[in-house]
């Protein structure tokens, strides 16, 4: 099997990997903010419910969560819901990843939001700003700057975690490499696949460095 | 406090109603009716020669592929193939994402507890794979005692490996077991002879060899359906027809497994 053939098959899988990565971020970043509000709310039942949920999601392996989302509907209720939709396996993986990463993000957001001093809220109140104005114009911009390093950590982990989706047979780049291994007895494609991740994460690292520089003007 | 109780009650009601709704959907059809009504027989496979694999044109071929297509045609339905992780095959089957496991599936007593098998159609043996340079060290079964073995977790090979030595490491796939032997982290692997024949001595596994002096018990391949499925009997009847009209014999010759065909 030639180098170009292997590259083509791996690129095919890498497309799925990238799509899973990007869509997970698109949905998990806003969902994480909502969850972080839930775990900071003064309404106790909701706060305990949210924190309990975050505890379960962060406390169990992502692989098991993939199994639960994909297999449990068919096993317990006789309705394999992902069988009827196109790319059902990918959708199931996306749901599991979004929930999992939203929970991790929510704790990062919570740390960022709680790090803003009470004095700033009081100053805003004195100036007659509404709660919404205070949050979106004063608090959030500072939070964004503060959470970039921990967020970039999680996001780089996400790039590599996407390979877990292969446990429910989503054909990602690692699955593609494993298939070549089992069909052609070739091991190098697996390490070649590692190079794809390395380059992709290198680009992300550069991007985060750039964003951090852009945020420099917030002296807090 | 009142609000807290209210919230808890609301959540419980929500969860229970979801469960009730799903349970109501549970069908009362038999498994064969379910499969024939939807018109597709989804076979769970992993890719490997000569059972299910892609040819150079990108078409899925192989002995099991064409066998499944022939059976489905006789039943008036369409055979579809879903590539799965072998370690998840039972969970795929029971959650109904696949209808059967049709991929050189070895019949064992333990598996019979949770899976309904059709009649066996191929003989298969397990074999010991070692580094070619170690061939002299593995002259017979006794030589394996105390050596480090690897085999696919839950496979027939793992059972056989446990009889040969006490030091067995389970792996996720048969191929992973070969990789361990190649990298020297294990002394021998126990895998299907069908797989070993197509991989050992080729590509990155060129320095591996089958230990010819070691004979392991043979087993049989069959098609696995959900426990208690009435589909197995329907498929058995079709297999009998395909054996009688020579279709299976032709297929077995095409893919080089004629010597193992159970008539």
- Which residue, among A6, A183, A188, A189, would best test binding to B if mutated, counting the most B CBs under 10 Å from its CB? A183
Q: How far is A84 from chain B (nearest CA, A)?
A: 10
pLDDT at A35 over 60: yes
- If you measure CA to CA, which chain A residue comes closest to B207? A185
- Which residue, among A76, A77, A86, A89, would best test binding to B if mutated, counting the most B CBs under 10 Å from its CB? A77
Of A38-42, A204-208, B197-201, B234-238, give the lowest mean pLDDT range. B197-201
CB burial string A18-47: b at 16+ within 10 A, e below: bebbebbbebbbebbbebbbbbeeeeebbe
| Residue span of the structural domain in which A164 resides | 3-217
* CATH code at position B234: 3.40.190.10
Quickly state the pLDDT bin for B5 (edges 50, 70, 90).
Answer: low
* CATH code at position A183: 1.10.3720.10
**Chain B interface residues (partner A, CB cutoff 8 A):** 3-4, 6-8, 11, 19, 22-23, 25-27, 46-49, 53-54, 82-85, 88, 91-92, 94-97, 173-175, 178-179, 199, 202-205
Same domain, B117 and B159: no
Q: Which residues of A touch B180 (CB under 8 A)?
A: none
Q: How many domains does chain B have?
A: 2
| Residue span of the structural domain in which B186 resides | 125-218
- If you measure CA to CA, which chain A residue comes closest to B206? A185
Q: How many domains does chain A have?
A: 1
**How far is A126 from A140, CA to CA, in rounded Å?**
19
Same domain, B191 and B230: no
Tens of pLDDT, residue by residue over B107-155, are: 988 899 999 999 999 988 889 999 999 888 888 888 898 899 999 888 8
- If you measure CA to CA, which chain A residue comes closest to B34? A78
- If you measure CA to CA, which chain B residue comes closest to A166? B85
pLDDT at B185 over 60: yes
Q: Is residue B210 part of a domain?
A: yes
Contact A45 B8 (CB under 8 A): yes
Q: What is the pLDDT of residue A97?
A: 98
CB A13 within 8 A of CB A174: yes
- Unique residue bearing structure tokens 């395909």: B242
**Roughly how many angstroms between the first and final C-alpha of chain A, as a whole number?**
56
Residue B50: asked if its preceding bond is cis (omega within 30°), the reply is yes
CB A102 within 8 A of CB A54: no
**How far is A175 from B215, CA to CA, in rounded Å?**
34
Q: Is residue B1 part of a domain?
A: no
Same domain, B206 and B241: no
Tens of pLDDT, residue by residue over B22-79, are: 555 555 789 999 999 999 999 999 888 789 988 888 899 999 999 999 999 999 999 9
- If you measure CA to CA, which chain A residue comes closest to B91? A71
Phi, psi values for residue A45, rounded to 5°? -55, -45
**Chain A interface residues (partner B, CB cutoff 8 A):** 43-46, 49, 67, 70-80, 82-83, 166-169, 171, 178-179, 181-188
- CA dihedral sign, ordered B166, B170, B175, B179: negative
CB B102 within 8 A of CB B83: no
Count Cα atoms within 13 angstroms, Cβ side, for B148: 13
CB A74 within 8 A of CB B95: yes
Tens of pLDDT, residue by residue over A162-212, are: 999 999 989 999 999 988 887 777 889 999 999 999 999 999 999 999 998
Q: Which residues of B touch A189 (CB under 8 A)?
A: none
Q: Is residue B105 part of a domain?
A: yes
Same domain, B114 and B133: no
Burial environment of residue B12 by CB neighbours within 10 A (0 to 12, 13 to 18, 19 or more): exposed
Q: How far is B13 from chain A (nearest CA, A)?
A: 15
Residue among A155, A136, A142 nearest A115 (CA): A142
Q: What is the pLDDT of residue B19?
A: 58
Q: Is residue B224 part of a domain?
A: yes
| Arithmetic mean of pLDDT, B155-162 | 88
pLDDT at B15 over 80: no
CB contact set of B92 (below 8 Å; sequence gap of 6+): A71, B44, B82, B84, B98
- Is the predicted ipTM greater than 0.85, yes or no? no
Burial environment of residue B13 by CB neighbours within 10 A (0 to 12, 13 to 18, 19 or more): exposed
CB B178 within 8 A of CB B166: no
pLDDT at B218 over 80: yes
pLDDT at A92 over 90: yes
Beta bridge pairs of residue B52: B48
Q: Is residue B187 part of a domain?
A: yes
Q: Is residue B230 part of a domain?
A: yes
Same domain, B211 and B129: yes
Q: What is the pLDDT of residue B31?
A: 92
Q: Is residue B253 part of a domain?
A: yes
The percentage of residues in chain A with a pLDDT greater than 90, rounded to a whole number, is: 76
Angle at A167 between CA B46 and CA B187, to 5 degrees: 65
Q: Is residue B205 part of a domain?
A: yes
Tens of pLDDT, residue by residue over A131-166, are: 999 999 999 989 998 999 999 999 999 999 999 999
Quickly state the pLDDT bin for B176 (edges 50, 70, 90).
Answer: confident
């Amino acid at each position: 099997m030639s180098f170009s053939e292997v590259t083509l098959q791996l690129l095919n899988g890498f497309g799925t990997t990238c799509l899973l990565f990007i869509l997970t971020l698109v949905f998990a970043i806003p969902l994480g903010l909502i969850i972080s509000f839930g775990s900071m709310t003064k309404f106790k039942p909701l706060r305990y419910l949210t924190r309990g949920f975050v505890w379960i999601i962060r406390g169990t392996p992502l692989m098991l969560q993939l199994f639960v989302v994909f297999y449990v509907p068919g096993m317990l209720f006789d309705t394999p819901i992902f069988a009827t939709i196109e790319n059902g396996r990918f959708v199931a993986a996306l749901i599991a990843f979004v929930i999992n990463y939203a929970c991790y993000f929510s704790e990062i957001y919570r740390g960022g939001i709680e790090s803003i001093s009470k004095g700033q809220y009081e100053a805003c109140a004195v100036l007659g700003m509404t709660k919404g104005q205070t949050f979106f114009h004063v608090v959030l911009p500072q939070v964004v700057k503060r959470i970039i390093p921990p967020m970039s950590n999680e996001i780089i982990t996400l790039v590599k975690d996407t390979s877990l989706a292969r446990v429910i047979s989503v054909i990602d780049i690692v699955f593609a490499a494993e298939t070549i291994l089992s069909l052609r007895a070739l091991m190098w494609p697996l390490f070649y696949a590692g190079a794809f991740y390395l380059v992709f994460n290198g680009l992300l690292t550069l991007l985060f460095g750039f964003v951090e520089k852009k945020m420099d003007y917030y002296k807090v | 406090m009142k609000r807290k109780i209210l919230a808890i009650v609301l959540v419980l009601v929500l969860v229970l109603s979801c469960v009730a709704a799903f349970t109501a959907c549970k069908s009362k059809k038999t498994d064969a009716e379910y499969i024939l009504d939807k018109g597709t027989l989804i076979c769970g496979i992993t890719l490997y020669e000569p059972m299910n694999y892609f040819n150079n044109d990108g078409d899925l071929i192989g002995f099991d592929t064409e066998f499944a297509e022939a059976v489905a045609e006789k039943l008036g339905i369409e055979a579809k193939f879903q590539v799965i992780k072998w370690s998840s095959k039972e969970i795929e089957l029971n959650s109904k994402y696949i209808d059967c496991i049709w991929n050189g599936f070895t019949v064992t007593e333990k598996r019979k507890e949770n899976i309904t098998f059709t009649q066996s159609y191929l003989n298969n043996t397990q074999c010991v794979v070692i580094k070619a340079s170690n061939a002299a060290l593995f002259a017979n079964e006794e030589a394996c005692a105390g050596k480090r073995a690897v085999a696919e977790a839950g496979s027939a090979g793992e059972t056989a490996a446990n009889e040969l030595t006490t030091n067995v490491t389970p792996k996720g796939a048969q191929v992973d077991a070969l990789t361990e032997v190649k990298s020297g982290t294990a002394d021998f692997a126990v895998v299907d002879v069908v797989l070993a024949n197509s991989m050992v001595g080729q590509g990155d596994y060129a320095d591996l060899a089958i230990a010819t002096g070691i004979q392991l018990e043979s087993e049989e391949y069959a098609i696995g359906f959900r426990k208690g499925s009435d589909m197995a009997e329907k498929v058995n009847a079709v297999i009998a027809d395909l054996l009688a009209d020579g279709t299976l014999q032709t297929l077995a010759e095409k893919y080089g497994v004629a010597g193992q065909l159970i008539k």
